[in-house]
């Protein structure tokens, strides 16, 4: 048997696509991960003025949460750079 495993740890750096931007922050989708990028966690919230929907960003994972039978892994992250 073989399996693909997705279990990002705190500090993991991943690249994903921005799905939505609102006044609270941004939402990024990376495979089975749904990552929230809250403005309040960033030392420079002005970086959000440079973000555009469907652009790619490199993020660092701060924390994750999932339970049995979830279809997605929820995570919180910080923006490292914009591609």
Report the alpha-carbon angle 76-66-40, nearest 5.
Answer: 15
- Tell me the C-alpha distance between 74 and 70, whole Å: 9
- Token readout for 43 is 């030392």
Indicate whether 77 pLDDT > 90. Answer: yes
Indicate whether 62 pLDDT > 90. Answer: yes
Q: For 71-81, what is the mean pLDDT?
A: 93
pTM for this predicted structure: 0.86
For residue 39, give the 3-state DSSP assignment: helix
Indicate whether 5 pLDDT > 90. Answer: no
- Tell me the C-alpha distance between 67 and 47, whole Å: 32
């Amino acid at each position: 048997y073989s399996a693909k495993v997705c279990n990002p740890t705190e500090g993991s750096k991943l690249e994903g696509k921005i799905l939505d931007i609102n006044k609270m922050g941004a939402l990024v989708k990376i495979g089975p991960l749904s990552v929230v990028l809250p403005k309040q966690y960033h030392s420079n919230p002005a970086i959000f003025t440079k973000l555009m929907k469907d652009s790619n960003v490199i993020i660092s994972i701060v924390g994750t949460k999932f339970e049995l039978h979830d279809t997605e892994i929820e995570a919180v992250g910080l923006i490292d750079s914009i591609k």
